[in-house]
């Protein structure tokens, strides 16, 4: 046994070393796109990130940042933490596989044989290394996100329950359970995914404590495990802050004490009661009544009975617990003690959220949701800003809100929920602290006839509806309902169509596709929505792949040369299936460990699919959410070695040692193949795109500027650059999607580094949540009104300004569709918004035409107030990536300076003044950085590639065109050459994004360069068309948009090329004409 332990430990650490070295070699050297920039920023300065937060991740990552030699190395340290924690995940996976294999292969008390030792170690190595090089886990392992850390918690607690199983009959074995509980509590401060291990943990406990398990007992154990998950998610995580809130109200509102005094009192009482309860279970002569009372108080104070925000369920659960404890004769003092100690350590682990309260109270520059008291913390933890998704019963995409006649109008019916407690707005500092109900949570009630059980197609967004109908092949059934006295008929999707969408999209496309990426192969890294050429799973076996996703030869370059094109020939999948079957049929111990592994697989995969209820057109691929499921499958891949060894021994007649050795060596080729295929698209070393692109946004702005952003990838990289590396901290980044919340407006009115408060004139009472969330455009006059007058009208609390004819309830509105902003021309010149040479073009007033808008959101009202209040003192910009519907109709006054549009008092639309060529030239040619995207060894994922192509058009082409129009041909040529230097064809393929590049080369008499660009584009488009027209009709239908796109690109090339050279395009004109005719016949 000593030899086994030594080899098991050594090989475990070898897998850790291999995986850690791989991850450290391939990790990104700075922040990545999406949430990574935000997480690294929040960790470095302990700032508050997006709900529900990750305080324990922040604390741990902050420790790693202490080893950074300078701010530019902070991201390296956080990414290194992910790499090392991922390596530890592999270590514990290895030990979990070897434990499970040892339990099946070696009988208790039996000496392990050499063949068994080789099989067990081979299983551990193959399973652990397969997960090491799996697509999804490797992706998370090399960036500063929470998923690597969460995976470590999953691996550790699963390994710990196996450790407990080995010593369960020994004294003090329950310490392992307490440690698991503590880690569960800590994991809440990283990600809730770890709670999904509970069913597997409970099954291990059940099978160990009950040597003769039954099917009924297994179901009871699973039911208990699901109840524990509910207790953790809704009882502990949300119930604790609910009870704490009652204490806070008692102490602040009832006793007149300062804010958070109730929180301190609650903590003292809670810890005191739990300590008392534990003491009562440890005395030599326990008093049952006192022990039960202390136990009930502990459970109540933690908030476990108060699932949700009501009291009735809580009271009933407390009553049931009381009855059970006082009436039952089966209560075990030892069990009660273990539960109480476990609850205590869970609370201790969960207490990392105190960091969120403390840091939010410090008003850090990044303070999302401002959870500075227990009530805002509850909202923060509940992720209320993301809304609710129906799961068991709810609306379909045709559902309408119930309406009833109120004062002659048809008003929506809402269900009032829990109160929202807010701090009073004090008129002076002498006022006492106090909370008041600022609003009540409310939910719309939907017409029952249009609702459905298990609603999978619930979004009414137009794009989602089209996708629902396509994925589920919806025909629907007519349903009549009453709409305010009018009988209306709609085509409601049937339940069968609803289930079809669940299986085809949610389960197949959004889970099994990701599963097969990891264990069969991946077509490319292009995000798709069911098209035959984007992001599908493949095998590497041409005969199979050609049927699924079209011919596998002469594929379009963006498929054939895509580094995300990985093939494993189904080998990991087949090995996992062998392992699954081996485990399931390996006797009683085998089937028990199979069900444990299965429920780990199910809960971290399909159960998440059921819970998320995802809509179509997700902003990015979501495979990272299912990493735990792929972890479980790699346990089966490990068992595949044992299965192969058995097959070779039984049917190949090999000696046991030889069979084990051959099975191990042969199976090791599976992770080797995975590593070889996945290396190029998981190696992020040398890629600085996210950081550099974020800096480019900032460098587009003048000093002391304000830049409006909207999405993750035009906000978080900017935050990272400012918060971590201290770049351009004079600029205020303002996210318009957050600007509709009161807490964010509060933050914008505070200083941040060198940035003074934003020029917002509204008081907090004017914009507190529930106040002026929207203002309707209701023209009471055909004449334009002054912007200042309109804002004052909206801001007024006078009831006469809230009355709209024909509508009974008071509403905030603007009484004209046209607003006029009077320009202070002297101020504009003084602050350099307009150059003296352009002073003659300056407007005395700017017209804001709102005819196409029905409402203005709070964020738009605040933007207009800033424009009015600022009076040109600070430059105001919009990032070029912001959606036009966020421009508040100011885009006619935009002047591009790089990756930002500056608002200027000139009419720029359709003129050369739409680009400030002097500033933009300096930015593009001298200041901007390009993140190493010109290096062919640097991996550019689809997101980065898409941005690079956008820069070709929005930056280089636009600037070059303006310079040519201004007669600055020399500069224009330098810009075009710069584009081809920093975004070369070898890394950013030539396509539609380079059309203007080629045209401007022609304009500048650079025929050779122009034709090189156009020939490259034509070659790519023609190769794509050749492949498209080899597809079968069903496959062809999914890429028809791409066919049309490529034909349009070729037509444009020929049109422009012939303008400058009548002979241009002869080489492919005929082929183009043939495809155009073929397209016409297909469309007919």
Per DSSP bridges, beta strands 521-522 and 845-849 are: unpaired
Report which of residues 283 and 353 the model is more confident about: 353
Q: Residue 1083 CA to chain centroid, in angstroms?
A: 38
pLDDT at residue 507, rounded to an integer: 97
pLDDT, tens digit, 9 for 90 and up, residues 118-130: 999 999 999 999 9
Helices within 231-287 (DSSP H only): 239-249, 261-282
* pLDDT digits 0-9 by tens, 636-672: 999 999 999 999 999 988 999 999 999 999 999 999 9
**Whether residue 415 has pLDDT greater than 90:** no
Q: Are residues 950 and 1010 in the same domain?
A: yes
**Residues 695 and 37 sit within 8 Å (Cβ to Cβ):** no
Task: Taking residues 351-379, report their average pLDDT.
Answer: 95
Give CA–CA dist 980/135, Å, rounded: 32
Q: How confident is the model at residue 407 (pLDDT cuts 50, 70, 90)?
A: low
Instruction: Find the mean pLDDT for residues 216-234.
Output: 94
Cα 672 to chain centroid, rounded: 30
Determine which of 164-168, 498-502, 979-983 has the lowest per-residue pLDDT on average.
Answer: 164-168
- Map tokens 């006839």 to a residue: 449
Q: Is 453 helix (H, G, I), strand (E, B) or coil?
A: strand
| pLDDT of 708 over the 70 cut | yes
Q: Are residues 1038 and 904 in the same domain?
A: no
pLDDT at 1074 over 70: yes
3 state SS of 901: strand
When pLDDT is averaged across residues 703-713 and rounded to a whole number, the result is: 96
Closest residue by Cα to residue 1006 from 948, 1061, 1049, 1054: 1061
- The upper half-sphere exposure of residue 64, i.e. CA atoms within 13 Å in the direction of its Cβ, equals 22
pLDDT band of residue 33 (cuts 50, 70, 90) is very high
| Per-residue pLDDT band at 759 (split at 50, 70, 90) | very high
**pLDDT digit string, tens, across residues 81-120:** 999 999 999 999 999 999 999 999 998 888 999 999 999 9
Residue 825 maps to a domain: yes
Q: Which residues are CB-neighbours of 232 under 8 A, at least 6 positions away? A: 184, 188, 195, 198, 346
Domain check: are 735 and 860 in the same one?
A: yes
Token digits for 1053?
């090339």
Digit-coded pLDDT (tens) for 182-199: 999 999 999 999 999 999
N- to C-terminal Cα separation, the chain:
75
d(CA 193, CA 625) in angstroms, rounded, equals: 8
Q: Quick one: tokens of 925?
A: 């040619």
Q: Choose one of 898, 926, 954: the last residue of a domain.
A: 926
Which of 378, 349, 360 shows the shortest CA–CA distance to 56? 349
Distance CA 947, CA 950 (A): 5
> Do 710 and 845 belong to one domain?
yes
CB 816 within 8 A of CB 781: yes
Q: Is residue 325 part of a domain?
A: no
Residues 1071 and 1022 in one domain: yes
| Strand ranges in 958-1068 using DSSP code E only, listed in sequence order | none
Select from 896, 926, 956 the last residue of a domain: 926
Please give the backbone phi and psi of residue 597, each rounded to the nearest 5 degrees, phi first.
Answer: -65, -40
**Cβ(835)–Cβ(905) below 8 Å:** no
Q: How many CB atoms lie within 10 A of CB 396?
A: 27
pLDDT value of position 329:
79
- Token look-up 């067990």 returns 120
875, 968: one domain: no
In whole angstroms, give the CA distance from residue 705 to residue 698.
Answer: 9
Task: Report the percentage of the chain scoring pLDDT > 90.
Answer: 86
Question: Per the domain annotation, does 568 fall within a domain?
Answer: no
How far is CA 193 from its chain centroid? 14
Yes or no: say if 137 and 627 are a contact pair by the CB < 8 Å rule. Answer: yes
Range in 281-295, 351-365, 630-644, 1004-1018 with the lowest mean pLDDT = 281-295
Predicted pLDDT at 1: 67
Q: What does the pLDDT average to over 943-960?
A: 96
- Count CB neighbours of 871 within 10 A: 13
Q: How confident is the model at residue 408 (pLDDT cuts 50, 70, 90)?
A: low
Residue 636 to residue 103: CA distance in whole angstroms: 15
> Does a structural domain hold residue 1075?
yes
Q: Which residue, 926, 953, 983, sits at the end of a domain?
A: 926
Per-residue pLDDT tens digits for 226-276: 999 999 999 999 999 999 999 999 999 999 999 999 999 999 999 999 999
The DSSP element (H or E) to which 969 belongs, if any, is helix 969-982
**Whole-number pLDDT of residue 1057:** 92
Same domain for 826 and 949, yes or no, is no
State the CB neighbour count (10 A cutoff) for residue 666. Answer: 16
DSSP per residue, 99-111:
HHHHHHHS-TTPP
Phi, psi (rounded to 5 degrees) for 776: -80, 145
Residue 482, pLDDT score: 85
Range in 132-141, 316-325, 401-410 the model is least confident about = 401-410
Reference 147, options 193, 105, 186, 103; nearest CA is: 193
User: How many Cα neighbours within 13 Å face the side chain of 947?
Assistant: 21
Q: Per-residue pLDDT tens for 871-892?
A: 999 999 999 999 999 999 999 9
Burial class (CB in 10 A: 0-12, 13-18, 19+), 592: buried
Q: What's the DSSP call for residue 533?
A: T
**pLDDT band (50, 70, 90) for residue 383:** confident
Phi-psi region of 588 (alpha: psi -120 to 50; beta: other; left: phi over 0): alpha
In this structure, are 947 and 912 located in the same domain?
Answer: no
| Domain assignment present for 978 | yes
What pLDDT is recorded for position 658? 96
Burial class (CB in 10 A: 0-12, 13-18, 19+), 845: middle
Range scoring the smallest mean pLDDT among 230-234, 759-763, 917-921: 230-234
Lookup: tokens for 147: 């998923």
How far apart are the C-alpha atoms of 338 and 347, rounded to whole Å?
14
List phi, psi (to 5°) of 167: -125, 20
Contact between 250 and 266 (Cβ < 8 Å): no
Q: Is the dihedral of CA 645, 646, 647, 651 positive or negative?
A: positive
State whether 960 and 914 are in the same domain: no
Q: Which two tokens stand for residue 534?
A: 């984007």
Tokens of 475: 């025909």
* Distance, CA of 868 to CA of 793 (rounded, Å): 14
Cα-based angle 893, 897, 901 (whole degrees, multiple of 5): 40
> What's the rounded Cα separation, in Å, for the pair 574 and 667?
11
- Residues, the chain: 1084
- Cα distance between residue 357 and residue 350, in whole Å: 13
User: Do residues 978 and 917 share a domain?
Assistant: no
Residue 1075 to residue 1083: CA distance in whole angstroms: 12
Mean pLDDT, the chain, whole residue set: 94
pLDDT per residue as tens digits for the range 974-983: 999 999 999 9
Integer Rg of the chain from CA: 32
Token digits of residue 347: 């609370």
Residue 814 · residue 790 · CB < 8 Å:
yes
Number of domains, the chain: 2
Backbone angles phi and psi of 206, in degrees to 5: -65, -45
Residue with tokens 């009453």: 482
Give Cβ neighbours of residue 592 (< 8 Å, ≥ 6 apart). 203, 207, 213
Q: Within a domain: residue 790?
A: yes
How far apart CA 947 and CA 692 sit, in angstroms, is 12
Kindly report which listed range (321-330, 501-510, 521-530) carries the lowest average pLDDT score: 321-330
Do 1078 and 1043 contact (CB within 8 A), yes or no? no
Structural domain contains residue 588: no
Q: pLDDT tens, 963-997?
A: 999 999 999 999 999 999 999 999 999 999 999 99
**Would you say 823 and 842 are in contact if contact means Cβ atoms under 8 Å apart?**
yes
Q: Which of 871, 609, 691, 969 is nearest to 75 (CA)?
A: 691
Q: Give the span between the Cα atoms of 487 and 126, in whole angstroms.
A: 64
Count Cα atoms within 13 angstroms, Cβ side, for 411.
14
For the segment 832-845, the average pLDDT, to the nearest whole number, is: 89
Query: Quick one: pLDDT band at residue 340, thresholds 50, 70, 90?
Result: very high
In terms of residue numbers, what domain contains 1003? Answer: 942-1083
* Nearby residues of 5 by Cβ (< 8 Å), 6 or more positions away: none
Q: Determine phi and psi for 29, rounding to 5 degrees.
A: -80, 0
* Statement to judge: residues 990 and 904 lie in one domain: no
Q: Is residue 1028 part of a domain?
A: yes
CA dist., res. 151 & res. 153, Å (int)? 5
What is the model's pLDDT at position 306?
87
Q: Is 715 strand, coil or helix?
A: coil
Same domain, 922 and 949: no
Whose structure tokens read 């923060």? 380
CB-count exposure of residue 944 (10 Å: 0-12, 13-18, 19+): buried
pLDDT at 49 over 90: yes
Rank 402-411, 550-559, 767-776, 961-970 by mean pLDDT and report only the highest. Answer: 961-970
3-class secondary structure, 796: coil
């Amino acid at each position: 046994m000593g030899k086994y332990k030594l080899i098991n430990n050594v090989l475990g650490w070898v897998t850790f070393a291999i995986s850690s070295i791989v991850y450290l070699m391939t990790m990104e050297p700075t922040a990545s796109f999406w949430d990574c920039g935000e997480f690294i920023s929040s960790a470095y300065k302990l700032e508050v990130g997006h709900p529900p937060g990750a305080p324990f991740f922040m604390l741990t990552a902050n420790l790693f940042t202490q080893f950074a030699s300078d701010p530019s190395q902070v991201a390296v340290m956080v990414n290194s933490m992910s790499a090392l924690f991922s390596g530890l995940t592999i270590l514990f996976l290895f030990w979990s596989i070897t434990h499970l294999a040892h339990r099946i292969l070696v009988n208790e008390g039996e000496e392990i044989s050499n063949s068994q030792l080789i099989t067990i170690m081979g299983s551990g190595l193959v399973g652990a290394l397969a997960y090491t090089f799996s697509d999804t886990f490797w992706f998370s392992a090399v960036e500063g996100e929470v998923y690597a850390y969460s995976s470590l918690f999953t691996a550790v607690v699963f390994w710990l329950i196996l450790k407990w199983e080995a010593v369960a009959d020994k004294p003090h074995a329950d310490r392992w359970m307490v440690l698991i509980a503590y880690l569960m509590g800590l994991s809440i401060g990283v990600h809730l995914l770890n709670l999904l291990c509970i069913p597997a943990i409970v099954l291990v406990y059940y099978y160990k404590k009950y040597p003769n398990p039954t099917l009924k007992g297994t179901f009871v154990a699973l039911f208990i495990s699901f109840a524990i998950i509910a207790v953790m998610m809704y009882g502990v995580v949300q119930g604790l802050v609910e009870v704490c809130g009652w204490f806070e109200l008692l102490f602040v509102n009832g006793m007149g004490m300062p804010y958070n005094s109730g929180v301190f009192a609650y903590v003292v009482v809670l810890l005191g009661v739990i300590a008392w309860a534990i003491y009562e279970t440890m005395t030599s002569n326990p008093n049952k009544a006192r022990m039960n009372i202390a136990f009930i108080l502990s459970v109540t104070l933690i908030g476990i009975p108060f699932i949700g925000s009501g009291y009735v369920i809580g009271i009933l659960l407390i009553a049931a617990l009381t009855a059970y404890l006082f009436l039952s004769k089966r209560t075990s003092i030892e069990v009660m003690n273990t539960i109480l100690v476990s609850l205590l350590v869970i609370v201790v682990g969960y207490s990392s959220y105190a960091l969120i309260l403390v840091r939010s109270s410090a008003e850090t520059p990044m303070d999302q949701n401002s959870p500075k008291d227990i009530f805002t913390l509850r909202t923060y933890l509940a992720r209320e800003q993301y809304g609710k998704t129906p799961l068991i019963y709810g609306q379909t995409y045709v559902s309408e809100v119930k309406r009833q006649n109120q004062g002659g109008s048809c008003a929506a019916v809402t269900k009032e929920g829990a109160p929202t407690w807010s701090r009073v707005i004090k008129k002076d500092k002498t006022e006492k602290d106090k909370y008041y109900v600022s609003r009540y949570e409310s939910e719309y009630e939907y017409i029952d006839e249009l609702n459905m059980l298990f609603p999978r197609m619930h979004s009414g967004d137009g794009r989602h509806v089209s996708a629902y109908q396509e994925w589920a092949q919806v025909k629907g059934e007519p349903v009549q309902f009453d709409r305010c006295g009018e009988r209306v008929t709609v085509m409601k999707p049937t339940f069968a169509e609803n289930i079809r969408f669940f299986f085809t999209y949610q389960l197949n496309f959004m889970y099994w596709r990701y599963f097969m990426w990891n264990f069969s192969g991946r077509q490319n890294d292009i995000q798709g929505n069911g098209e035959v050429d984007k992001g599908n799973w493949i095998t590497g076996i041409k005969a199979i792949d050609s049927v699924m996703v079209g011919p596998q030869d002469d594929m379009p370059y963006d498929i054939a040369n895509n580094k995300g094109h990985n093939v494993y020939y189904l080998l990991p999948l087949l090995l996992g299936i062998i392992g699954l079957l081996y485990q399931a049929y390996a006797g009683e111990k085998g089937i028990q460990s199979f069900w444990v592994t299965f429920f780990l697989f199910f809960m971290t995969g399909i159960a998440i699919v059921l819970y998320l209820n995802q809509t179509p057109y997700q902003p990015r691929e979501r495979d990272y959410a299912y990493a735990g499921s792929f972890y479980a499958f790699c346990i089966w891949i490990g068992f595949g070695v044992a299965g192969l060894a058995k097959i070779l021994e039984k049917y190949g007649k090999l000696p046991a040692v030889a069979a084990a050795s051959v099975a191990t060596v042969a199976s090791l080729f599976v992770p080797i193949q995975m590593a070889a295929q996945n290396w190029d698209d998981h190696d992020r070393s040398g890629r600085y795109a996210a950081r550099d692109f974020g800096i480019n946004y900032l460098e587009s702005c003048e000093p002391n500027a304000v830049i409006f952003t909207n999405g993750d990838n035009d906000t978080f990289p900017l935050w990272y650059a400012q918060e971590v590396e201290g770049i351009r901290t004079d600029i205020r980044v303002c996210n318009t999607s957050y600007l509709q919340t009161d807490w964010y407006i509060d933050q914008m009115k505070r200083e941040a580094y060198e940035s003074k408060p934003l020029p917002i004139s509204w008081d907090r009472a004017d914009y507190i949540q529930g106040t002026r969330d929207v203002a309707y455009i209701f023209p009471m006059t055909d004449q334009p009104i002054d912007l200042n007058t309109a804002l004052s009208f909206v801001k007024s609390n006078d009831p006469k300004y809230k009355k709209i004819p024909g509508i009974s309830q008071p509403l905030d509105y603007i009484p004209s569709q046209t607003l006029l902003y009077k320009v202070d021309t002297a101020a504009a010149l003084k602050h350099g918004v307009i150059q003296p040479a352009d002073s003659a073009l300056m407007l005395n007033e700017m017209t804001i035409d709102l005819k196409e808008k029905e409402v203005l959101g709070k964020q738009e009202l605040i933007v207009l107030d800033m424009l009015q209040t600022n009076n040109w003192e600070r430059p105001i910009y919009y990032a070029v990536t912001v959606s036009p519907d966020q421009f508040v109709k100011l885009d006619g006054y935009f002047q591009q300076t790089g990756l930002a549009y500056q608002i200027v008092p000139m009419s720029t639309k359709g003129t050369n003044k739409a680009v400030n060529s002097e500033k933009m030239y300096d930015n593009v040619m001298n200041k901007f950085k390009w993140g190493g995207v010109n290096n062919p060894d640097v991996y550019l994922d689809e997101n980065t590639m898409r941005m690079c192509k956008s820069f070709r058009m929005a930056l280089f082409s636009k600037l070059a065109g303006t310079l040519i129009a201004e007669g600055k041909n020399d500069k224009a040529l330098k810009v075009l050459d710069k584009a081809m230097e920093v975004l070369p064809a070898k890394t950013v393929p030539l396509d539609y994004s380079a059309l203007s590049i080629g045209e401007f080369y022609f304009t500048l008499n650079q025929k050779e360069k122009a034709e090189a660009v156009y020939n490259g584009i034509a070659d790519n488009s023609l190769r794509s068309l050749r492949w498209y027209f080899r597809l079968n009709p069903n496959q062809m239908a999914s890429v028809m948009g791409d066919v049309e796109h490529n034909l349009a690109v070729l037509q444009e090339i020929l049109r422009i090329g012939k303008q400058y050279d009548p002979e241009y395009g002869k080489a492919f004109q005929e082929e183009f004409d043939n495809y155009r005719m073929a397209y016409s016949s297909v469309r007919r």
